[in-house]
Amino acid sequence: MTDQDYQLRCELRGHEEDVRGLCVCDLGLITGSRDKTVKIWHEEGPNSFSVVTTLVGHTDFVGPVAYIAPGLAKEFPSGAVVSGSRDTNVIVWDSNTTNPLHVLQGHSYQVTGLAVLSNGDLVSASLDKTLRVWRNGKCLHVLEGHEGPVLCVLALPNGDILSGSGDKTIKLWSDYKCVHTFGGHTDTVRGLALIPGLGVVSASHDQTLRVWTFGGECISELVGHSALVYSARASSHGLIASASEDNTARIWRADGSCIQTIPHPACVWDVEFLANGDLVTACGDYAARVWTTAEDRQAPAEARQAYEASLEAKKAGGVEGSGGALPAGLTLEDASVLTQPGTRDGQTKVVREGGAGVAYSWDAARGQWEKVGEVMGGPGEGSDTMAVGSKWHNGQQYDFVFDVDIEDGTPPKKLAVNRGDNPYDAADRFIDNENLPATYREQIVNFILQNTGGTVALPAIPMQNVDPFTGTGAYVPGAGVGGVGQPPHTVTGGSADPFTGAGAYAPSASQPPSRPAASPTPMQGATGGGVDPFTGASSRSRAARLRHVPGRQFMIFDNPPKLDGIASKMREFSATLASAQDTASMALSHEEMAPGGALEQLLARAANAAGAQGSSVGFSDIDYDLLSRMLRWPAGQLFPALDIARLAILDQQAAARLAATAGPVELSPLGDIGAALACASDEPHSASNQQTGLRLVCNCFRHEPLRRWVQTHSAALLDGFAPACASPAKAVRLAMGTLLFNLAMLFSASAGDEAADKAQVLSALVELLAATPPGEADTLFRSLVAVGTLVQNDKAALDIAQGLGFLQHAQELRQKAGAASKVAEAAQDVENLLS
């Protein structure tokens, strides 16, 4: 770095999900977030910003934020904060009282951009391909002309408007009419910013930025990002900042030269410059950060080193298994140093933990060491510095050590591999060490080959198709496991569950999701042995182009949990409820919990429902009453009841009965399944509730009554479970991907107008794909097939998908997945449809 490079000044933490939008104004800094809130921050010192106000009112995530300065508009003499959301609304907030002054309704899809004109009028952009101009709470003009979703908008000093779109163009609007179209980008135009005294800069999904004159002449192209570019801003001194999905912000000169790359721990959504030239970035790790070139405003050296250590920890946890050197000035120490207090706030130490180096930072306010993360894979022999490019496992040094999720609810297993290893030898060693079934051998080999960058050689031995590393057991067309009609192999034994304790019942943790069970689908007609349930058997020419799109069979989760484990957990939770005065009435009676009592009878019939093919297992009124009561348990005790309901609704008669009492998806006593799912998706988010709740919704697709209920309440369900797209839990992401897959088929087969529903599913899919690691093949595959199913034969949905950057996602996933994988094939399907 040079003396003029931006360095960390401070972090702004307070949001509970991604920070998506930024606005610098007289109030300070405004941030919008996926957590549905807007926050206003004040600067309190060189290294501190504090939250002054949190604005709550949107029902979905907040993207763009803006500010109408005092006196600019007569109706807002004190100024106003403005926010746009995926709930399709724009809210104008009073700057003094923070009360909503207007809720501007008119857009049919997500609001993606905001701009304030010089006369105080407000302009909003939307996925519905339009811009709207607002004054006094009313829409004055609707600007139409873009052929794709409008992703960004910029107000020019002379009152004109610029807009960028998924149709790859920028349009100039004067007197609310399009007077010029700028062409040059090869993908969605995502961001626009004014460059004082020069023109404008645009950011695009084609991974570039372009500098334009106001007349539409492109005078330079800024090339360097390796993923979608989401936003750009220019400083008063002519520097340009950009935000990208490649986890960096970059600083550029207008001539196209990149002068600094600032790495982040997650996707960078937005950038802004403060009046003093400092840079603000909005990041997917729930934080905004301020960066400065002024030495007197830089964070203490220890804080900057801790940040660098956290980035190294992020790299150490990646699939390449590579590491990097410790930041300058830090050495590897014994863990005993953490028994002594730090000397100053932010002091950083790196200690040995289990053969790895882990960074800790001293929190003076709490008087304790806070874990930052793993810095490197392991120590170098005979050295107190970190070894580069290696990891340690069981006292030996390896080129790669992967954390492999064999089954939900159990700690990941360590798979150690060296460059040049025979992958079959490494797989055999892993199977022996972890006491795994030999049937996993081929899938372990596949995993090694996909994640070692071609440095491990492959003997010419055929492979099969069940993948225990990516959610396990997802059905691969034409591949059987353990014989025709047999479920995937189940890993049994002790199951340490982070929610319920080691060896205890975990929601469906003991078995992987089953392959898609046969159920009525909206697309019938493919019959005969060996027919692909995703593509059917018709049209040879079309099948040659699309391998997996459209989806053809709903996916469900029909594996029963361990009955003794779930019964034990229900008794434990009932005892907890009985011990508190306000919940004692919810507890089960001793007779109901007794051996052979109502609880065990319900569990037995629920387990039988999973295997029932068309016949009813005969749930009784007592069963329905007991399940209804348990579905009203508090969030902390809810997930076992969701798991029981997940199985019960596989029974046709039970599905009809429970559909009649499902009710709305809201926290109310008016329904059973609806109220339970509202509770399961409510804050604070619980991975166990999200997982079992989403699996319950997926199983609603088995029978028509509950399938109709899901279609009616899909918007509320997706709103509630939207945070699951970015869940850190693999099983939650898989369940969310399965739900989106099922919804894609449902909406694509519907005879009604499902445009808004499809747009909501596409919006969720782009979030899920961005959050899913490359190794989770089942989640990625289902998500990609869902995208293809939604856009096939639907121009409006295709335009939205193009605007959201699915083509870029598909291209990147295909390149990472390997030519022979189902993810690569599904990604190619999406590319074929979108290009």
CATH number, residue 751: 1.25.10.10
According to DSSP, the β-strands at 348-353 and 332-333 are parallel
Q: How confident is the model at residue 371 (pLDDT cuts 50, 70, 90)?
A: low
Supply 117's token pair. Answer: 């004109």
According to DSSP, the β-strands at 396-398 and 391-393 are antiparallel
State how many domains the chain has. 4
Indicate if 191 and 283 belong to the same structural domain.
yes
The count of C-alpha atoms lying within 13 angstroms of the C-alpha of 720, restricted to the half-sphere facing its C-beta, is: 26
In a domain, 428, yes or no: no
Distance CA 531, CA 514 (A): 19
DSSP state of 145: -
Q: How confident is the model at residue 212 (pLDDT cuts 50, 70, 90)?
A: very high
Q: How confident is the model at residue 102 (pLDDT cuts 50, 70, 90)?
A: very high
Q: How confident is the model at residue 419 (pLDDT cuts 50, 70, 90)?
A: confident
Point out the least confidently predicted range of 84-88, 190-194, 483-487, 745-749: 483-487
**Final residue of a structural domain among 393, 409, 427:** 393
Helix or strand holding residue 632 (H, E): none
Indicate if 130 and 218 belong to the same structural domain.
yes
Instruction: Say which residues have a Cβ less than 8 Å from residue 58's Cβ, sequence separation at least 6.
Output: 36, 37, 38, 83, 85, 87, 89, 91
Of 613 and 169, which is predicted with more confidence? Answer: 169
707 contacts 744 by C-beta, under 8 angstroms? no
Indicate if 325 and 373 belong to the same structural domain.
yes
With a cut of 70, say whether residue 336 has pLDDT above it.
no
Q: Which pLDDT value is given to residue 565?
A: 80
According to DSSP, the β-strands at 90-94 and 80-85 are antiparallel
In a domain, 121, yes or no: yes
Domain range enclosing 257: 7-299
pLDDT tens track for 55-65: 999 998 899 99
With a cut of 90, say whether residue 390 has pLDDT above it.
no
We report the CATH number of the domain holding residue 244 as 2.130.10.10
The terminus-to-terminus CA distance of the chain in angstroms comes to: 40
CA 550 from chain center: how many Å?
23
**Final residue of a structural domain among 691, 712, 733:** 712
pLDDT tens track for 548-597: 888 888 998 888 777 778 888 888 888 888 888 888 888 888 888 888 88
With a cut of 50, say whether residue 246 has pLDDT above it.
yes
Q: What percentage of the chain has pLDDT greater than the value 70?
A: 77
The count of C-alpha atoms lying within 13 angstroms of the C-alpha of 583, restricted to the half-sphere facing its C-beta, is: 18
The identity of residue 769, as a single letter, is L
Q: What's the chain's length in residues?
A: 835
CA 111 from chain center: how many Å?
19
pLDDT tens track for 711-737: 999 999 999 999 999 888 888 999 999
Q: Which pLDDT value is given to residue 438?
A: 67
Indicate if 278 and 253 belong to the same structural domain.
yes
pLDDT tens track for 522-552: 333 332 333 333 333 333 333 347 888 888 8
Indicate if 144 and 237 belong to the same structural domain.
yes
In a domain, 643, yes or no: yes
In a domain, 62, yes or no: yes
With a cut of 50, say whether residue 662 has pLDDT above it.
yes
Sign of CA dihedral 558, 563, 568, 573: positive
Distance CA 684, CA 675 (A): 16
With a cut of 60, say whether residue 209 has pLDDT above it.
yes
Average pLDDT of the chain to the nearest whole number: 79
Indicate if 292 and 366 belong to the same structural domain.
no
- φ/ψ region of 36 (left if φ > 0, alpha if ψ in -120 to 50, else beta) reads left
What is residue 264's three-state secondary structure?
A: coil
Q: Which pLDDT value is given to residue 534?
A: 30
444 contacts 415 by C-beta, under 8 angstroms? yes
Give the CA angle between residues 470, 476, 481 to the nearest 5°: 90
pLDDT tens track for 748-777: 887 666 788 888 999 999 999 988 888 888
In a domain, 436, yes or no: no
**Final residue of a structural domain among 657, 682, 712:** 712
Q: Which pLDDT value is given to residue 670?
A: 62
Q: To which residue do tokens 């694509």 refer?
A: 748
- With 0-12 / 13-18 / 19 or more C-beta atoms within 10 angstroms meaning exposed / middle / buried, residue 834 is buried
With a cut of 50, say whether residue 298 has pLDDT above it.
yes
In a domain, 448, yes or no: no
CA 554 from chain center: how many Å?
22
> Is the full-model pTM beyond 0.75?
no
In a domain, 481, yes or no: no
In a domain, 546, yes or no: no
Q: How confident is the model at residue 462 (pLDDT cuts 50, 70, 90)?
A: very low
Q: How confident is the model at residue 179 (pLDDT cuts 50, 70, 90)?
A: very high
Of 379 and 475, which is predicted with more confidence? Answer: 379
24 contacts 274 by C-beta, under 8 angstroms? yes
Indicate if 655 and 707 belong to the same structural domain.
yes
Q: What percentage of the chain has pLDDT greater than the value 90?
A: 38
Q: Which pLDDT value is given to residue 319?
A: 35
Supply 610's token pair. Answer: 């999973």
Indicate if 80 and 159 belong to the same structural domain.
yes
Distance CA 290, CA 287 (A): 10
Indicate if 143 and 275 belong to the same structural domain.
yes
Indicate if 231 and 379 belong to the same structural domain.
no
Indicate if 601 and 675 belong to the same structural domain.
yes
Q: Which pLDDT value is given to residue 501?
A: 34
With a cut of 50, say whether residue 180 has pLDDT above it.
yes
Indicate if 751 and 704 belong to the same structural domain.
no
